[in-house]
Amino acid sequence: MTNPAKPQRDTILVVEDDAEMAQALLSACEELGFATEHLTTCAEALAAAEAGTYPLAILDRMLPDGDSVDLLARLRAEGSVQGILMVSALAHAGHRTHGLDRGADDYLAKPFSPEELRARIRALMRRATAAQGEHDYLVFEGLEVRVKARTVHYEQAHIPISPKEFELLLYFARHAGAPLSRMQLLENVWNLHFDPQTNVVDVHVGRLRRKLETQTGRPWIHTERGAGYWFGPAETIEEP
């Protein structure tokens, strides 16, 4: 544990009392190249937030000294924690929306795959470190996503896609290079916080992927085994 008196700007605060889960959270952060600070109680988390600045805090919900949902408003008010990822075994749709409503940026249900966890951390860290101003144009080697006009062009040619497909593409484009899980897409593009039985997301991603590939002749959306998908330019169409 680092000394809270000397906060580090790229340190992720991990608050989890279960040793094994904490290890999983810490190693996910470290694998992504971030420093970590491990705490086990709400009180410690609050003290750390008062003393330092963190781009992201990962909070377990049921901590020895209380429900960390009650901590969210105070952490937010402190202003020193930019992103909050809640990790919890309390995980049906009601718990999730409750956590998000109270101020968490993302809510991940236990158990989760390490890929899913890394995808969430990466998305939140990117948001925390990204420039504040939103660009109107997101450009990837000839593929142009026009945010305000809500259209997509490849080498000046318009690619017809549906409004929902555009939202999906925009979310991908804003997280270019980062693996995104199906639940992440469902939560952020469709605002649905439950796990459907069928792989509805795969169908939508598949359609968008095919449209982009047919129009540009190169792959843009890639399957990340075990994690989901990632977006970015690639030279050749990968084998399914």
Partner 1 sequence: MTSTFRTAALVALIPLIFAVLGVVIVQGQLRDRLMTEAQTRLEAEVQGFEALYDQRRIPALREAIEYRALRGDPAGSVYLLTDRDGAALAGTYESWPKAAPAPPFRGQADLSGRAYLLDTRELRGGFDLLTGVALAPVEATLAGMRGVFAGFGALMVAAGLAAAWIVARGAQARTARLNAALADVGGAGGLSVTMPRDAPEGSEHAELARNIDAMLARITHLFEAHQRLGNAVAHEMRTPLARIRARLNTLDLDAASRAGLDEEIRTTIRLFDSLLAIAQLDADAGNTAALSPVDLSEIAATLGELYGPVAEEDGRALTLDLQPGARMLGDAQLLSQMISNLVENALKYTRPGDEIRLSVAVRGDRVVLTVADTGPGADPGLRERLFTPFARGQGHGSVPGHGLGLSLVQAIAVRHGAKPRLLETEKGFAIEVSALHISDR
State which of residues 64, 132, 156, 197 lies at the interface with partner 1 (CB under 8 A): 197
Q: Rounded distance, CA 92 to CA 53, Å?
A: 31
The Cα-based distances of 38 to 4, 16, 84, 202 in angstroms read 11, 8, 15, 36
Least separation in angstroms between CB 198 and partner 1: 6
Least separation in angstroms between CB 109 and partner 1: 7
State which of residues 14, 72, 86, 91 lies at the interface with partner 1 (CB under 8 A): 91
Determine contact, residues 207/96, Cβ cutoff 8 Å. Answer: no
Q: Which stretch binds partner 1 (CB under 8 A): 50-58, 104-112, 129-137, 143-151?
A: 104-112
190: contact with partner 1 by CB under 8 A? yes
Scanning 1-154, the segments in alpha helix (DSSP H) are 19-31, 42-51, 69-78, 93-101, 114-129
Q: Which of residues 142-161 bind partner 1 (CB under 8 A)?
A: none
For the chain, state the CA radius of gyration. Answer: 19
| Positions that interact with partner 1 (CB under 8 A) | 18, 20-21, 24, 62, 89-94, 96-97, 109-114, 164, 190-198, 200, 203-204, 207, 225-226
